[in-house]
């Protein structure tokens, strides 16, 4: 019997010796949790020396980007996806680690009897009844519990129901981190945005009357007892302060239907609506093989928006049967779409069956001819009527297409 025990002990030691430690046989204990790394945002420079075939050198200096560096700070809360070091005793025989009930992967080759390196799983609950602030390590000899909070991600919208707003309008958001939001504002404005409803992944907002032209949402939220702010990356447009051509279900600022499919006095609007409070959208009809422009005009020689006073031309467009390359024209020439060097021509790709948003810089064309340049000869609408703000599908495209546009505006 003694010989058997000796052999068994030897095998047990060999099982763990290759890792460089022997697990303790006592109950596991967690004494602290430490950060493993941190983001270093201190600006620094790299000097790069290059040699040519003659042995001559050139030296350039490059600013370094944010880097990840080692960090060892005791913490009682952690971020999803980040790595942390669990410290304690008798941890070497760990069979499982979990945060708020969610199992976390750990590499046994990176642990000792006193440390475990582990990352918090991205699906760990951080809000609601499952957010129990519990870190649990289970070993062959017992279970250790430690109070450790999972930090909610900052409020981050992944989609908006609209990128335009106006007084009283509503926009729904999808994303993460909304549960802790306590207030919302807009950059450049002191007015608050009303939270109609919220969960951690959705929010419904109602907008106030403001004086700004464009702004981004600013979230105030609580995280592990701290009050923080986060500014969304998406810029929103206030249609109340824009120069609207078609919005709120009808034409604005004396514009009307100058499409080739309708007379000027014809049906101004029809079709599906895009967002909150809309009653109609504007229909664009493109028969296969037909040469046809669809769009807006005033039919008068009065100056409409002076392009140099505006920054963007924006609109939503609902696609048809297939993806189409659509030409936008704001030029007084009836055949401007055939002249790619003429200012005021711009092409977009419109996918089928969905609403797509376009925010086109005025005077910049992303490699194309500038759209609506702020030149003296191109500063006002012209009286041609049917083609100075239009959409067009050049050439036979194989199918009959019907598109719809909504919230068409010039924005400062």
- Is residue 232 located within the same domain as residue 259? no
Q: Which of 206, 240, 274 is the last residue of a domain?
A: 240
In-domain check, residue 366 = yes
Q: How far apart are CA 7 and CA 20, in angstroms?
A: 20
By three-state DSSP, how is residue 405 classified? Answer: strand
In-domain check, residue 270 = yes
pLDDT of 224 reads 84
- Is residue 55 located within the same domain as residue 186? no
Characterize the bridge pairing of strands 164-165 and 226-238: parallel
Q: Which of 151, 166, 185 is the last residue of a domain?
A: 151
- Is residue 139 located within the same domain as residue 182? no
- Is residue 385 located within the same domain as residue 250? yes
Q: How far apart are CA 336 and CA 402, in angstroms?
A: 22
- Is residue 45 located within the same domain as residue 178? no
In-domain check, residue 15 = no
The neighbour count for residue 299, using CB atoms within 10 Å, is 14
By three-state DSSP, how is residue 214 classified? Answer: strand
Q: How far apart are CA 356 and CA 212, in angstroms?
A: 24
Closest Cα to residue 380, out of 294, 301, 315? 301
- Is residue 269 located within the same domain as residue 321? yes
Q: How far apart are CA 261 and CA 258, in angstroms?
A: 8
How are the residues of the chain apportioned to helix, strand and coil, as percentages rounded to the nearest 5?
10, 45, 45
- Is residue 297 located within the same domain as residue 331? yes
Q: Which of 240, 258, 290 is the last residue of a domain?
A: 240
Neighbour-count burial of 123, counting CB atoms closer than 10 A to its CB (0-12 exposed, 13-18 middle, 19+ buried): exposed
Contact 160, 173 (CB under 8 A): yes
The tens-digit pLDDT sequence of the chain (412 residues) is: 444 433 333 334 444 555 678 899 999 999 999 998 765 555 555 556 566 666 666 666 555 555 555 667 899 999 999 999 999 999 999 999 999 999 999 998 899 999 999 999 999 999 889 999 999 999 999 999 999 999 999 999 999 999 999 999 999 999 999 999 999 999 999 999 999 999 999 999 999 999 999 999 999 999 888 899 999 999 999 999 999 989 998 888 888 887 877 654 455 566 777 777 778 899 898 888 777 778 887 766 545 556 667 888 899 999 999 999 888 876 544 444 444 444 456 789 999 999 999 998 876 444 444 565 544 334 444 444 333 678 888 767 789 999 999 999 999 9
Contact 198, 181 (CB under 8 A): yes
State how far the alpha carbon of 13 is from the alpha carbons of 21, 68, 114, 184, in Å. Answer: 9, 37, 17, 59
What tens digit of pLDDT does each residue of 65-103 get?
555 556 678 999 999 999 999 999 999 999 999 999 999
The neighbour count for residue 259, using CB atoms within 10 Å, is 24
In-domain check, residue 142 = yes
- For the domain that residue 402 is a member of, what is the CATH number? 2.60.120
Helices and strands, number each (H, E), in the chain: 1, 32
- Is residue 407 located within the same domain as residue 278? yes
Contact 411, 314 (CB under 8 A): yes
Structural domain span for residue 198: 156-240
152's tokens: 């909610």
- Is residue 26 located within the same domain as residue 145? yes
What tens digit of pLDDT does each residue of 130-186 get?
999 999 999 999 999 999 999 999 999 999 999 999 999 999 999 999 999 999 999
In-domain check, residue 14 = no
- Is residue 120 located within the same domain as residue 175? no
In-domain check, residue 198 = yes
396's tokens: 């036979």
- Is residue 119 located within the same domain as residue 160? no
In-domain check, residue 1 = no
- Is residue 204 located within the same domain as residue 131? no
Contact 150, 100 (CB under 8 A): yes
Closest Cα to residue 209, out of 240, 186, 187? 240
The neighbour count for residue 58, using CB atoms within 10 Å, is 9
- For the domain that residue 46 is a member of, what is the CATH number? 2.60.40.10
pTM of the model: 0.78
44's tokens: 């620094």
Looking at the 3D structure of the chain, how many domains does it have?
3
């Amino acid at each position: 019997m003694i010989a058997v025990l000796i052999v068994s002990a030897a095998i047990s030691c060999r099982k763990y010796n290759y890792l460089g430690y022997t697990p303790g046989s006592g109950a596991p204990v967690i004494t602290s949790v430490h950060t493993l790394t941190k983001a270093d945002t201190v600006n620094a420079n790299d000097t790069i020396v290059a040699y040519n075939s003659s042995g001559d050198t050139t030296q350039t200096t490059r600013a370094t980007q944010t880097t990840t560096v080692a960090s060892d700070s005791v913490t009682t809360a952690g971020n999803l996806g980040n790595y942390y070091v669990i410290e304690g005793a008798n941890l070497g025989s760990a069979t499982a680690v979990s945060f708020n009930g969610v199992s976390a992967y750990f590499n046994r080759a990176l642990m000792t009897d006193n440390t475990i390196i582990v990352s918090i799983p991205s699906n760990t609950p951080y809000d609601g009844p499952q957010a129990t602030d519990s870190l649990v390590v289970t070993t062959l000899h017992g279970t250790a519990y430690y109070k450790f909070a999972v930090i909610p991600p900052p409020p981050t919208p992944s989609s908006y129901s609209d990128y335009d707003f106006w007084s009283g309008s509503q926009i729904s958001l999808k994303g993460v981190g909304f549960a802790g939001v306590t207030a919302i504002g807009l950059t450049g404005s002191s007015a608050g945005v009303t939270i109609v409803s919220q969960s951690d992944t959705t929010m419904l907002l109602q907008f106030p009357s403001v004086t700004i032209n464009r702004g981004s949402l600013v979230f105030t939220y609580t995280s592990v007892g701290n009050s923080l702010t986060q500014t969304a990356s998406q810029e929103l447009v206030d249609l109340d302060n824009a120069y609207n051509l078609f919005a709120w279900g009808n034409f604005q600022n004396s514009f009307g239907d100058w499409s080739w499919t309708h007379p000027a006095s014809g049906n101004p609007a029809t079709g599906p609506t895009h967002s909150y409070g809309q009653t109609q959208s504007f229909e664009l009809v493109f028969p296969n093989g037909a040469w046809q422009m669809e769009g807006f005009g005033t039919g008068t020689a009065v100056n409409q928006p002076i392009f140099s006073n505006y920054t963007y031309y924006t609109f939503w467009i609902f696609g048809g049967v297939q993806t189409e390359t659509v030409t936008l024209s704001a030029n007084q020439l009836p055949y401007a779409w055939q002249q790619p060097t003429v200012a005021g021509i711009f092409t977009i790709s419109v996918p089928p069956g969905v609403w797509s948003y376009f925010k086109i810089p005025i005077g910049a064309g992303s490699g194309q001819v500038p759209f609506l340049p702020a030149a003296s000869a191109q500063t006002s609408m012209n009286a041609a009527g049917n083609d100075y703000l239009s959409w067009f599908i050049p050439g036979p495209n194989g199918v009959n297409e019907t598109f719809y546009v909504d919230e068409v505006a010039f924005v400062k």
